[in-house]
Amino acid sequence: MERRTFLRSSALAAASFYITKDLFARPKGPVYGHQNMRYTLDTKWSMADSSRFPVKDCHEMVQDKKGRIILLTNETKNNVLIYNKSGKLLSSWGTTFPGAHGLTLAEENGEEFLLITDTDKHQVYKTTMDGKILLTIDAPLESGKYKKKEEFVPTETTVTDNGDIYIADGYGAQYISRFDRNGKLLGIFGGRGEGTQFLDNAHGITVDRRKGTPTLLVTDRTRNCFKRYSMSGELQEVIELPGACVCRPVIKKDNLYAAVLRAPDMNVEGSGFVTILDKNNKVVSNIGGTEPKYVDGKLQRMQQAEKIFVHPHDVCVDNDENVYVAQWASGKVYPYKLRRV
């Protein structure tokens, strides 16, 4: 009898443990997204004191190899805010980038550095992690594509393994310029035009290494797509994203993430969401957007479904696959954190 009672008590205790464990494992609050890319939302992630460390437009974010989350804002009281993953502000710097827009993290000889585009100054800066300017790149007037520096309004950069820097002129003449690590112009392609190879609002750019041979993914925001180019500028593929005015492409492992500033076009204010594509560039989840639907292999038009975001401008995916969302023209809000469930 004693042994039977002991076994029954042990079984009840074990069951209680797993029920309790399951309850604790359940996400708190609503869950957003689709398929296996689902998240809870934390709108109060940032612990920064807004009176001391205000933001204007939160444009872009990256994570460095120390695990820190780095935010770029065009607020010149503190252009760069550096957080830990829990939202504690660790440090800040920068007062001279009124048009701070694009933020790229790159590595050279084992050392990390940042690339910042300034749409007001018409320049791109390479800096140390604490803000020392190492290189300034001006409008590539020598290309013959620009008559004056004001026509060059760079929005994003990406860096290759050998240190070449590609700059997307997303608010200017829509060219993609390639420079070496010392700022020497190597080539230029794209530009504004009606043909498929041309660009309109080339807002973002990144090197895609997922299939082995590196290629360039470039945003064509007003046309609701990403375009894949060879590293020398030949168009290879158009990734259609109907209804999604996407910002820069962000790659983490096999997935491609992007903030959707507005939907279904740039005329609809407050209509943003976040989209996630798999390794085959098929949309698998929309956070705050309609569930992705394919008919005969063709993606149907997407739009905002839940009012989570106003104007998401960039995403940063950390090493735990949580997503941080920076927003433009959204009431000077700090970034939100989406925790993967």
CATH topology of domain 29-340: Neuraminidase (2.120.10)
* DSSP annotation string for 241-291: -TT-EE---EEETTEEEEEEEESSSTTSTT--EEEEE-TTS-EEEEESBPP
pLDDT at 26: 63
pLDDT per residue as tens digits for the range 48-94: 999 999 999 999 999 999 999 999 999 999 999 999 999 999 999 99
pLDDT score recorded for residue 285? 98
Average pLDDT value for the chain: 94
Cα dihedral 261, 151, 218, 328 in deg (nearest 10): -20
Q: Name the 3-class secondary structure at 2.
A: helix
pLDDT bin (cut points 50, 70, 90) of residue 13 is: very low
Largest separation between any pair of C-alpha atoms in the chain: 95
User: What does the pLDDT average to over 252-271?
Assistant: 98
- 247 or 23, which is more confident: 247
Closest CA to 325 of 287, 281, 278: 287
Give me 30's structure tokens.
């609503």
Whether a cis peptide bond, with omega within 30° of 0, leads into 264 is yes
Q: How far apart are CA 203 and CA 157, in angstroms?
A: 10
In degrees, to the nearest 5, what angle opens at C-alpha 103 toward C-alphas 101 and 104?
150
DSSP codes, 9-22: HHHHHHHHHHHHHH
Residue 185: exposed, middle, or buried by beta-carbon count in 10 A (0-12, 13-18, 19+)? middle
Query: What CA–CA distance (Å, rounded) separates 118 from 133?
Result: 13
Alpha helix (H) residue ranges in the chain: 2-25
- Band (pLDDT 50/70/90 cuts) for residue 27 is low
Segment 182-201 shows an average pLDDT of 96
For the chain, domain boundaries: 29-340
pLDDT at 19 > cutoff 60: no
CB atoms within 10 A of CB 200: 15
- Mean pLDDT lowest for which of 18-22, 33-37, 102-106, 119-123? 18-22
Mean pLDDT of 262-286: 98
pTM, rounded to two decimals: 0.91
Instruction: Note the pLDDT tens digit of each residue in 300-326.
Output: 999 999 999 999 999 999 999 999 999
Contacts of 209 (CB under 8 A, 6+ apart): 251
In 10 A of CB 130, how many CB atoms? 11
Residue 139 in contact with residue 122, Cβ under 8 Å?
yes
Is the Cβ–Cβ distance between 322 and 32 less than 8 Å? Answer: no
337: closest CA among 8, 25, 44, 37? 44
Tens digits of per-residue pLDDT, 203-213?
999 999 999 99
